[in-house]
Amino acid sequence: MKTGMFKILMGVGTVLIMATNVPGQVVLNEILADNYSIISNGDAYPDYIELYNPSTQAVDLGGWSLTDNLAQPRKYVFPTNTVLGPGEYLLVWCDTLTSAPGLHTGFALNNQGEAAGLYDTGSVLRDSVVFGLQLTDWSLGRVPNATGAWTLTVPTPGLANQAQPLGDVTALRFNEWMANATPNPDWLEVYNRTNLPVAVGGLLITDQTSLPLTNRPIPALSFIGPNGFIQFIADDLAKTSANHLDFKLSSSNGETLTLYAANGVTVLDTVTFGPQTLNVSQGRLPDGGTNIIFFRVNEATPEQSNFLTLTNVVVNEILTHTDSPFEDAVEFFNPTATAVDLGNWWLSNNRNDPMRYRIPAGTVIPARGFKVFYQYQFDPGGLGFTFNSYEAGEVVLASGNASGVLTGEQLVQTFGPAQNGISFGRFETSRGVDFVAGAALTLGVTNPASLAQFRTGVGATNAYPLLGPVIINEIMYHPPDQLVDGVLQDNTADEYLELFNAAYVPTPLYDPLHLTNQWRLRNGVSFDFPSNVTMSARSYLLVVSFSPTNTAQADAFRAKYHVPTNVMVMGPYSGKLDNRGEQIELYKPDAPQLPDRPRPGLVPYILVDRVAYEDRAPWPDSPDGTGDSLQRRSALVYGNDPVHWLGAPPTAGRPNVVEPPLIKSAVRTPAGDFRIGFTALAGVAYAVAWQTILNGGSPTTLTNIPATTDLRTLEVIDPDGPGINPGRFYRVSIPSQL
């Protein structure tokens, strides 16, 4: 395919122009090492290398090669009859996605710095560039084309290069440092106070106090983004990575850091600090300012804006994917007993750009009350202040004084891709708070007839998390070890994950409108479900570490775990279910981004279920090598909470074991009745009965308790209990499980 003079080769067999090799005519012209949204190829946004032929003759690149390692010149070899005509550009994708159009190198570019080289058929280097730290969606290019020096450029694939204006190095400041980090290395952060990129190649960072400096300069062609940050690792190792320094920081006595211009003499910034606290960072608040503070434990912000976390307000709910009659909205909650004045604070969708919407003076959240902000308020001009619904995003609340000046306290809540009309909200578990999709909108108006009605919502208590329809139901993460040649070895072959379709209708594990977009498992293990797989209603599916096409192994697995013949077994997944603990995530595809939306063609993946298990309390510990598996107590309970799991003999492809409830109290009151208290699980129905003979006779039902969607403590009263009729024995049983 040719677009003007821009060529992306679709295949290899057609010679478009009669060509002769003229050494040195074709050059590397542009490189994009961090392509986030500039140009897509199929559904992906790969890095690219652009070649340019400035001559008047066509050149056949067949047998030439590209590399990202000058010690390995033949990493990618151009196919025969790869012809580049006079004045033409050729884009080569730096990825392994060979099913997409064009040429693919098989390697990606490193935005932390590396080299690119072009070699002829005799492996003679014809052109090369060595670069350092690269910026997202900015490229490196020759200006002018073919002959100019390399500089930061606005990406122009297939067009003449365009230099990007740069800011002044005098705007750079040390912004944060961690000099006592364990087990991780020391680090420091540099901040760019301007709204232009700045070239940092050749600058020197040192802890030396006298000249001449002996430190390694930052590699050439390195850049820091507008109002951006770079984290430099101070590990004093012989590394070539552009973000590593050749010294460590002193935590016991402190020291002085200095940033020098490329001449090694001109001081751009300096900071002196004293003794440092373990795993506590120190830095400027606000960014680039003169006020230096110690941040709280676990509140270091490398390559992010510095802040102290607000403690009197929380992000309670956010709606990001909004078709009519909805619009983006965010709800805050005040958990304290004192009203909070948000007047002159700032709302944003980017912690590095917190001052997007200034909240009007007099805006107050009452004690234990809510406040909802709608898109018409924070983006009245329709300038694009929305929340990201197709990728990871964040909402930021930053405190300000009466003049709107930031005071340094912020609240940041991250979230992932969202389904249309489904909000994310806080949900308290036994381990803390998760921010997850909710079963219902609780901004105040759940089913509005119009946008105007939706905007009348003033907030409400969040709904229970959205569950399923497919859930992670059982995890065999540590089968008993195997004895091999007298040595106990980890038995990965008998691991498995069990999914359960809790719906009463079939659930396809793919997008019915885009059949090649399948559900997937990620994080601890990775697995993409095959096309056209559908789970029938109330069915089970097992994902294993081996290939089920190995009939002998599959049969042995089914026999070992008594897997029913109608249960699908799929695999292999990559990775491993870690014996100490792991995070397992199940995702489903949403509709691809439309051509008029950001990142057209991108397929958002929605988190369906997540379990971050551990092999120790409060998680059940019997699944850790004893033969038990980790089993979800009910399909109607939130998965990422240890109280909702038990350890029991494996039930692969079958209903999980359900523990009978423990009676926690049995009390006769002065009035003579009898009260039985127990904990009831979500999704489980109970029956309470009595009988006069402990191990015989027919029980008499006292009451039946229907299932609900929450964990609760119940008390059942027998008005004719032992105080009136001595000799009754009570039993709490589970006649059914939803």
Alpha-carbon radius of gyration of the chain? 31
- Structure confidence by residue, pLDDT tens digits, 237-281: 756 688 999 999 998 889 999 999 999 999 999 999 999 999 999
Measured between alpha carbons, how far is 543 from 527 in angstroms, rounded to an integer?
A: 8
Check whether residue 18 and residue 151 sit in a common domain.
yes
Structure tokens at 95: 């990825």
Measured between alpha carbons, how far is 428 from 320 in angstroms, rounded to an integer?
A: 21
State the burial class of residue 620 (Cβ atoms within 10 Å of its Cβ: 0-12, 13-18, 19+).
Answer: buried
528 pLDDT band (50/70/90 cuts)? very high
3-class DSSP state of 658: coil
Q: Concatenated DSSP letters for 157-203?
A: TTS--EEPP---GGGEEEEEEESS-SSSPEEEEEEE-SSS-EE-TT-
222 within a domain of the structure (yes/no): yes
Round the average pLDDT of the chain to a whole number and report it. Answer: 90
pLDDT of residue 701: 86
Structure tokens at 676: 């039985």
464 within a domain of the structure (yes/no): no
Give 384's contacts (C-beta < 8 A, 6+ positions apart).
none
pLDDT of residue 722: 57
The average pLDDT across 97-114 equals 93
pLDDT of residue 42: 82
Check whether residue 595 and residue 483 sit in a common domain.
yes
CATH code of 348's domain: 2.60.40
Check whether residue 347 and residue 442 sit in a common domain.
yes
Measured between alpha carbons, how far is 158 from 49 in angstroms, rounded to an integer?
A: 11
Helices (H), 640-716: none
Check whether residue 193 and residue 247 sit in a common domain.
yes
- Structure confidence by residue, pLDDT tens digits, 156-196: 999 999 999 999 999 999 999 999 988 889 999 999 999 99
Structure tokens at 244: 């590593």
Where does a domain end: 620, 648, 676? 648
Q: Is the pLDDT of residue 325 over 90?
A: yes
Check whether residue 391 and residue 486 sit in a common domain.
no
Measured between alpha carbons, how far is 730 from 728 in angstroms, rounded to an integer?
A: 7
Where does a domain end: 294, 320, 352? 294
pLDDT of residue 240: 64
462 within a domain of the structure (yes/no): no
729 pLDDT band (50/70/90 cuts)? confident
Check whether residue 75 and residue 190 sit in a common domain.
no
Measured between alpha carbons, how far is 5 from 87 in angstroms, rounded to an integer?
A: 7
In sequence order, what are the beta bridge partners of 543? Answer: 497, 570
Structure tokens at 310: 């607000």
737 compared with 165, residue with greater pLDDT:
165
Measured between alpha carbons, how far is 423 from 321 in angstroms, rounded to an integer?
A: 8
The domain in which residue 155 lies consists of 2-163
- Quick count: other Cβ atoms within 10 Å of Cβ 570? 18
Check whether residue 637 and residue 669 sit in a common domain.
no
State the burial class of residue 277 (Cβ atoms within 10 Å of its Cβ: 0-12, 13-18, 19+).
Answer: middle
Residue 634's nearest CA partner among 709, 523, 574, 722 is: 709
Structure tokens at 713: 């403590």
300 within a domain of the structure (yes/no): no
355 within a domain of the structure (yes/no): yes
Check whether residue 643 and residue 667 sit in a common domain.
no
| Number of domains into which the chain is organized | 5
Where does a domain end: 426, 454, 482? 454
Check whether residue 237 and residue 115 sit in a common domain.
no
- Quick count: other Cβ atoms within 10 Å of Cβ 270? 12
Tell me how far the alpha carbon of residue 334 is from its chain's centroid: 27
CATH code of 281's domain: 2.60.40.1260
653 within a domain of the structure (yes/no): no
459 within a domain of the structure (yes/no): no
Measured between alpha carbons, how far is 286 from 308 in angstroms, rounded to an integer?
A: 10
The average pLDDT across 336-345 equals 97
pLDDT of residue 479: 97
Q: Is the pLDDT of residue 711 over 80?
A: no
703 pLDDT band (50/70/90 cuts)? confident
Q: Is the pLDDT of residue 1 over 70?
A: no
pLDDT of residue 16: 35
Check whether residue 235 and residue 266 sit in a common domain.
yes
CA angle 170, 246, 196 (to 5 degrees): 25
**Between the CA of residue 462 and those of 370, 392, 523, 639, what are the distances in Å?**
11, 21, 28, 17
- Structure confidence by residue, pLDDT tens digits, 12-41: 333 333 334 444 589 999 999 999 989 999
Percent over 90 (pLDDT), the chain: 73
Check whether residue 290 and residue 351 sit in a common domain.
no
pLDDT of residue 487: 87
Give 282's contacts (C-beta < 8 A, 6+ positions apart).
176, 177, 178, 179, 273, 276, 292, 293, 294, 295
Structure tokens at 215: 């430190």
354 within a domain of the structure (yes/no): yes
| Predicted TM-score of the model (pTM) | 0.74
147 compared with 714, residue with greater pLDDT:
147
Structure tokens at 112: 């932390």
Measured between alpha carbons, how far is 680 from 686 in angstroms, rounded to an integer?
A: 8
Check whether residue 621 and residue 536 sit in a common domain.
yes
